[in-house]
Chain A
Amino acid sequence: MKRTIPIALGMAIAAQCLILIGLYVEAQVPLWLGEPIRVKTVPVDPRSLFRGNYARLSYDFSTIAQSAFQEDQPLRQGEVVYVSLKKHPSGLYVFSSASLERPQRGIFLRGRVVGNRWGNTGDYRIKYGIEAYFAPREKALQLEDALRDGGVAELMVMSSGRAGLRKLAGDD
């Protein structure tokens, strides 16, 4: 066996460690550096076979009308979009505008088009990576019950539009 193989395998193990640390840091960064905002949310369908129990969250800005983008061509599935939010008098952030260009200022989320409801003529479904709230099964079901008519999610939003889900009102 070559002498380099043990070193290479040791580096492969280290690489796995680095990937795990990288994923941890990437998940933490919005929580460390992001700006806190509160948005209205509704939990739906709490279960995932492999990833455990969670409440799947939906936001008002999870579905956006095609006309909001002011594009000549319909968007493609997977397209990166930026959704600006504005502060409502209630203190919650709500949808303001959407575009393919990154906004210069204000609070905005970076998302991707994952579906369209009515072929190429209707609304787009957008995901921002803040749609899963993991909790034990009973708690996930309780959350679903408690927030059936809508709850509040606390997000941490970075200047790049990346967001992390910090807390769900009712999960104290």
Chain B
Amino acid sequence: MRLIRLLKHDLAREAREWVADGVISEAQARLICARYAVDYHGAPQRALGYNLLVGLGYLFVGLAVITLLGANWEEIPRALRMIGVIAITIGTQVLALRVYLTRDPRAGEGLFLLGNIFFGAAIILIAQIYHLGEHMPDGVFWWALGCVPFALITRSPWLAIQANALALIWFLLQVNLGFYPVLFPLFLLVSLYVLIWGRTSIILLLMTILSGGLWLEYSLAELWRSQAQRFDLNLLPENLAVAVGLLIFLYVFAHWLARRLSPTARDYAAVISVWCLRFALIAMLIFSFEQPWKQLIEADWHHRYAMWVVVAVIGGATLMLAVPARRLLASAIQLLTLVAVLFLVSHSDSAALAVYLQVATNFALIGSGIWLILRGIYAGISHYFFLGVVSILLVALLRYFDLMGDYVGAALIFILFAGLLIGVAKYWRYRQGREGSR
């Protein structure tokens, strides 16, 4: 997976300099830019920074209005405040509509963002006037819902991000209070629609994946809660197994996307792939300690059979996608590892198993670090190289502070790590020497 896709705007800017220096022709530069679906002529005028700053400025204007309302001034009659905030909302939206239709659609989208914040302020004010109780999520739901049509009609990623972020806040507030947010898929579908038919947006992509994952996990938690007659809506150990399964599916999905013709699909593939890698490393770092394994072994796995069914469904989908993605072997190994580890922790009561799993995770981390360093050097991807170096250094640091076993045991592990690293380095040098002599 070529991570250069994430830097394509820098590439376009660089290409202009190559043309100016006579290294390549303008036609060639345009071809290079077309390969990554970036506008060669538009590169210098790209106004991401400007748009972002204006967007953040609007956000603070909205926050200022909400804070002023929060001051709850008695000097201004509530009816007047109500009329004022509704007039500001509608006025801003009408202005945004005018700018969107007649002048600059992007500026119009920015104003719609601001109008949507004022809309939220109006909801807060109504709650104040009528002392609307403590169930705050309802207000956030109506706020998110009011933003949805603008995202759908304009297909603007920023408006979709706003609607999705509000929906996500509503979702988290609801599940925290023990309510299952039934209508959340509606917001997910809106984000998916804008992702497919709107402009490219990495933030919206990541937010949609996060939202989808949370929705699936809490849907399972709700199903298991109703089966077990539990009081609260919390995630269970079984949810962790599903999360790992989803991560493997996403990894294969990224490789499947990378084989599409669409440049946007390839951009998304690079983003998903790199985030899968980061999450996998973070997860392994967490499980490089003994305690998380112990907690999993000691946990009550009340929904084991349902969990296996869900993991099997995700695994089946992953393998089906792995064939066209040409990642059958890698994904099969990952899935088999998941199944084996899951079987061990969910069926064993032996706390001693935690240490073995901890040692295995540490070796897997070192192995991943070595693989990333070598891959980074071979493929010329500096991100992989540095990620590998950081992983190995972090393992060394963590294991130094949190010794595995006693001092002698930890020293032995360090020696094994050292042997592994030096061995791989020697092998690499040997390979290089052979390739050079050819």
> Could you tell me which A residues sit within 8 Å of B by CB distance?
1, 5-6, 8-13, 15-17, 19-20, 23-24, 27-28, 31, 48-54, 56, 73-78, 112-114, 116, 120, 127-137, 139, 164-165
Contact = CB atoms under 8 A, between A and B. Distances in A.
A51 B86 contact: no
Contact of A134 (B94, B131, B146, B177): B131
B134 A129 contact: yes
Contacts of B150: 9, 12
A13 B91 CA distance: 10
Given A16-B89, A132-B127, 12 more contacts: A6-B101, A19-B142, A20-B86, A23-B123, A27-B130, A53-B70, A74-B229, A75-B231, A76-B230, A129-B132, A132-B132, A132-B133
A8 B153 contact: yes
A32 to B, nearest CB: 12
B149 A11 contact: yes
B124 A50 contact: yes
Nearest to A11: B149
Main secondary structure of the interface of B (DSSP, over half): helix
A16 B114 CA distance: 14
A1 B93 CA distance: 19
26 contacts: A5-B153, A6-B101, A9-B97, A9-B100, A9-B149, A9-B154, A10-B97, A15-B146, A16-B90, A17-B90, A19-B119, A23-B142, A48-B70, A50-B70, A50-B124, A52-B70, A52-B71, A56-B134, A77-B178, A78-B233, A116-B231, A127-B134, A129-B132, A134-B72, A137-B72, A164-B130
A16 B101 contact: no
B332 to A, nearest CB: 40
Contacts of A12: 149-150, 153
Given A8-B149, A50-B66, A74-B231, A130 B131 contact: yes
Contacts of A131: 133-134
Interface string B143-157: 001100110011000
B151 to A, nearest CB: 9
Contacts of B308: none
Contacts of A77: 177-179, 231-233
Interface residues of B, number: 50
A73 B243 CA distance: 30
A164 B127 CA distance: 11
Contacts of B435: none
Q: Shortest 6 CB-CB distances between A and B: which pairs?
A: A77-B178, A129-B133, A27-B130, A12-B149, A52-B70, A78-B178
A29 to B, nearest CB: 10
A169 B86 CA distance: 31
Contacts of B101: 1, 5-6, 9
Interface centre among A24, A52, A137 (most CB of B within 10 A): A52
A80 to B, nearest CB: 10
B231 A51 contact: no
Interface in B147-198: 149-150, 153-154, 177-180
B399 to A, nearest CB: 38
Nearest to A48: B70
B283 interface: no
B122 interface: yes
A10 to B, nearest CB: 7
Contacts of A164: 130-131
Nearest to B66: A50
A127 B133 contact: yes
Nearest to A165: B131
B126 interface: yes
B21 interface: no
Contacts of B135: 112, 127, 129
Contacts of B177: 77-78, 114
Contacts of B230: 76
Contacts of B231: 74-77, 116, 120
A120 B229 CA distance: 10
B129 interface: yes
Q: Which of B69, B126, B129 counts the most chain A CB atoms within 10 A?
A: B126
B65 to A, nearest CB: 12
A113 B70 contact: no
A69 to B, nearest CB: 13
Contacts of A130: 131, 133
Contacts of A17: 86, 90
B129 A27 contact: yes
B128 interface: yes
Contact of B127 (A9, A15, A19, A51): A51
A126 to B, nearest CB: 11
A24 B126 contact: yes
A127 B139 CA distance: 16
Nearest to A1: B101
Contacts of B66: 50
A16 B226 CA distance: 35
B142 A128 contact: no
A6 B233 contact: no
B215 to A, nearest CB: 17
